[in-house]
Structure 1
Amino acid sequence: MDNQKEKILVVDDETSIRRILETRLSMIGYEVICASDGEEALNIFRKEYPNLVVLDVMMPKLDGYGVCQEIRKESDIPIIMLTALGDVSDRITGLELGADDYVVKPFSPKELEARIRCVLRRVDKITINSSIPSSGIINIGFLKVDTNKRQIYKNNQRVRLTGMEFSLLELLVSKAGEAFSRSSILQEVWGYTPERHVDTRVVDVHISRLRAKLEDDPGNPDLILTARGTGYLFQKISLTEQSI
């Protein structure tokens, strides 16, 4: 596994969880740093520049939601939230604040390790095998998508996307006009098959975030469309809209 230089920040107020994750993640080649509360997490984050954050929700001083909000003000680093909350709406809150995925406590360390690998692999992935031009540049109306640099511009202004948001957009654009089910999107982008219906809410929230950033009217989208009874699709791109 080529993750020797990848650094993971584990944030949890439970000592046992920090020790287990530090041990297991270190054994498979990651560099692991830990924090026991939200304030410490932000201090370490700004000093250590980790590649990914595993972030508990319920913590003293500053909870995981607050930490996620602060990180998203300055970084698109992948965030996986750990939550023991039973209410689905509470889990979704983390995604709406910018988390890339969540794992519900009690969790299997193997499951978390798999999620970490998938998120890092997707974020580092240059492009999806598709009909995207060799230049990696796609112009769609007021949008310019650069799949090589993993950047997007709206009216020539850079729009910040997280790595998973970009991967989701790239998947939809790569097969514009083709509808994807929520389950297939979760498999393609996040790398796992949903075990429960609620798992697909990860996709819904990311679609909502993309629409908010890219659409002129997110409530009545022109680009990222809902395929009734199926999932989502990107509007069909004509050849004249693709250019180098």
Structure 2
Amino acid sequence: MKKEETVILVVDDDKEIREGIRIYLTQDEYQVLEASNGEEALKVIKEQEVHLIIMDIMMPGLDGIQATRSIRKTNNVPILMLSAKNEDIDKISGLQVGADDYLTKPFSPMELLARVKSMLRRYFTLGEFDKVASEGILELNGLRLDTHAKTMVVDEREVSLTKTEFKIVELLMSHPGRVFSIDDIYESVWEEPSFNSDNTVSVHIRKIREKIESNPKQPKYLKVVWGIGYKMEK
């Protein structure tokens, strides 16, 4: 997609911050929409296609965490979280509900644009990846998963996975680089609310690593993001 066709939604209750970000992005030829809170953001997303969201965390009414959680129920658009606080708890909360990246205010225009370009590149690449996935084949860094035949090959070596292990690998390979919390994995794979599921998911992750990693203690494919969750390395 051409840059001038790319639509970015900026969500922040501070008008000056929204206008500043809009200036940075429009100068780089992106289309920009604005919303002052989570409720407005949800309305915009329903009315038109958005390719990336820049979302402030602290807002009156529906805040950034709540809005992101709602968006993630139906939409996989990349979300860049903004916060005036340089605290790990904000970062973890944002990533756990489905944000893709995190930026602390104040930030430089160059850093913002670099994050935006990187996230959009991953997003549009994943669009092609999902097209391949719909045909039943997922391939990533020497891993090959056939979702129709339910088989997996690691560096030309066929690996036998249980039904649950296969679902976990399929979830992670379908979204390379995205971090999934333990609750995300449990609710997606077991299809029920997560409750004290840490050990259940961890045991399955360990078994998967033993099957696909040459050295499970130093995994090449299935990585942990400490305090947040797991991802399949891009």
Q: Does the alignment reach a TM-score above 0.5?
A: yes
2:26–2:32 CA contact under 8 A, matched in 1:
yes
Q: In the alignment, which residue of structure 2 is the partner of 1:223?
A: 208
> Is 1:154–2:154 an aligned residue pair?
no
SS in 2 for 1:168: coil
User: Paired residue for 1:233?
Assistant: 221
The separation in 1 between residues aligned to 2:90 and 2:30, in whole angstroms, is 29
Alignment match, 1:9? 9
Q: TM-score, normalised by structure 1?
A: 0.63
What secondary structure does 2:221 align onto?
strand
- Output the CA distance in 2 between the equivalents of 1:67 and 1:54: 12
> Residues 18-56 of structure 1, C-alpha deviation per residue, up to 9 Å, x if partnerless?
111111111212110000111111111111220111000
- Over aligned residue pairs, what C-alpha RMSD do you find? 3.6
Aligned counterpart for 1:139 among listed residues 151, 172, 192:
151
Matches of 1:117 and 1:32, distance apart in 2: 14
Matched length: 186
Distance in 2 (CA, whole Å) between partners of 1:104 and 1:165 is: 29
CA distance in structure 1 between the aligned counterparts of 2:141 and 2:174, rounded to whole angstroms: 18
The percentage of counterpart residues that share the same residue type is: 33
| Unaligned residue ranges in structure 1 (runs of 5+) | 144-152, 170-204, 236-244
| Deviation of 1:107 (Å) | 1.1
SS in 1 for 2:177: helix
- Higher RCO (C-alpha under 8 Å, 6+ residues apart): 1
Kept in 2: contact 1:79–1:101 (CA 8 A): yes
Once the two structures are superposed, the pairs formed by residues 188-199 of structure 1 within 5 Å of their partners are: none
Q: Distance between the aligned counterparts of 1:79 and 1:209, measured in 2?
A: 19
- Give ranges in structure 2 of 5+ residues lacking alignment: 130-138, 153-160, 191-196, 224-234
Contact 1:211-1:224 at 8 Å conserved across structures = no
Aligned pairs for 1:56-135 (under 5 A) are 56-125=56-125, 126=128, 130-131=141-142
1:168 to 173, 177, 184: 177
